[in-house]
Structure 1
Amino acid sequence: MIRVLVDDDEALIRTGFQHILDAAGDIEVVAAVSGRQALAETARLHPDVVLLDIRMPDVDGLTILERLRALPAPPVVAMLTTFDTDEYVAAALRMGAAGFLLKDTDPEHLAVQVRTLAADGVVLSPKVTSTVVDGYLAGRTRSSAAVERLSAREREILVLLAEGLSNGDIAARLYLGVGTVKDHVSAILTKLKVNGRVQAALVAERAGLLRGDR
């Protein structure tokens, strides 16, 4: 059972997400809270995934993200936002968020995205804009040049990683051992000079790998 905590200041969003996810069968919303309550409830309930509103009246979502990421066993955190051009999104990704979802995400896709997050996959709204990607990549090596450092196998794994597949899924797809995939992912992150899977996925998107330009 995947344990999820939803943190949003809008009661309608909290209730809607809880109803959709609880109906999935393999997902349990252990708490639906607002603002700073997420910190105490996460420490108490140990959810696997936290869906965190990036903008709330009483507290900055980035502040909560930072404190959640500092926990000894931090949950996977994905940011909830109303606008795909929210300037906070790039900052959240740099701080270790596992992705972001728009609040109008199709209910049919929400449970799938939570399962992906729980399996250490990457979740980015299909409406990710070049503005968000550029905001994250500002000041970094050009994506195309960075990708050229990768071997053919590493590029293949990067594409699957960017599509949201976990290490286990990639291993099954490519008939590799999970340990081998982990080694490749570590090499990819090092060569791209990024800190995590989401950042690597953004590099792949910016370099055109997800549009078949490879």
Structure 2
Amino acid sequence: MTQEQTLTTVEIVLVDDHGIWRDGVKSLLEDTEFQVIGEAASGKEAMALLQTVRPRLLLLDIRMAGGDGLDTLQAIKAQHPEISVVMLTTYDNPTYMARAVAGGASGYLLKGVGAEELLTSLRVVASGDALISPKDLSRSLRSVNPEGAGDADLIKPLSTRELEVLRLLATGLNNRDIAGLLFVSEGTVKTHVEHIIGKLGVSDRVQAVVWAARHGVISLETG
């Protein structure tokens, strides 16, 4: 058993209409902590697959013969908000990235990404950390439409300190930087972030920030 296999297994689903690409990713993930538990060639197939398997991560193409991956992203997050979705695409397009983050994506990678960078990125998302840079996150949040209704009920479960941490997350700060600003330990911040993610019912810190933007917890005029 390799060192990677001693790590906690992270189950993953691949959604892309190119079988050769899926085979390549599967090969790359062999002997790592990532276990491919399902594949789909379209958004429709992906939604059907998620009725029988529940991965921690899902790699999703944007443009597929079976339809728009961004529409599939929204459907996945609506039904399975706990699944972290990473868009993997050939399109280096700021508009697509903004739509992806606003729609629920935890990351946006280009298909030309190297093997080590892909593995590192997947590990970042699996750990609940932000894969998207503060600049890209700020730009993406501007496309998020506030929901307005029911805000008080939705944010009520968060404590004052958790709301403070959530606002700092929106600036793109990592746990260490937040700890320094709040004069607490990095472990304390990590616990706060885990509680925030759990209470909001989202998959990771990026989507916690998107939730905050939708419900007026953070200002989109700044950052």
Tell whether the structures are fold-level matches, with TM greater than 0.5.
Answer: yes
Unmatched runs of 5 consecutive residues or more in structure 1 = 141-149, 164-171, 187-193, 208-214
d(CA) in 2 for partners of 1:2, 1:50? 11
Paired residue secondary structure (1:84): coil
Using the TM superposition, name which of 12-21 and 71-80 deviates more: 71-80
**Which of 68, 75, 79 is equivalent to 1:71?**
79
Q: Is the 8 A contact 1:98 1:198 kept in 2?
A: no
Q: Secondary structure at the match of 2:128?
A: coil
Paired residue for 1:160, among 142, 149, 174? Answer: 174
% identical aligned pairs: 25
User: What TM-score, normalized to structure 2?
Assistant: 0.62
TM-score norm. by structure 1 comes to 0.65
Letter in 1 for 2:174: L
Q: 2: distance between equivalents of 1:136 and 1:72?
A: 21
Partner AA of 1:18 in structure 2: K
Aligned-partner Cα distance in 2 for 1:68–1:92: 12
Is it true that 1:7 corresponds to 2:15 in the alignment? Answer: yes
Q: How many residues align?
A: 177
Residues 178 and 104 of structure 1, relative CA distance in 2, 3 Å threshold: same
Corresponding letter in the other structure for 1:40: A
Looking at structure 1, the residues matched to 97 and 189 of structure 2 have their Cα atoms a distance apart, in angstroms, of 34
| RMSD (Å) for aligned C-alpha atoms | 4.0
1:103 is displaced (CA, Å) by 0.8
State the partner residue of 2:5.
none
- 2:63 is matched with which residue: 21, 35, 55? 55
Alignment gaps of 5+ in structure 2: 1-8, 146-162, 178-183, 199-205, 213-218
Report the Cα distance in structure 1 between the residues aligned to 2:112 and 2:127, rounded to whole angstroms: 23
Inter-CA distance 74–176: structure 2 relative to 1 (3 Å threshold): closer
2:40 alignment partner AA? V
Q: 1:101 to 1:139 in 2, by over 3 A?
A: closer
With over 3 angstroms needed to count, the CA separation of the structure-2 counterparts of 1:133 and 1:55, relative to structure 1, is farther
Please point out which of 1, 23, 32 is paired with 2:39. 32
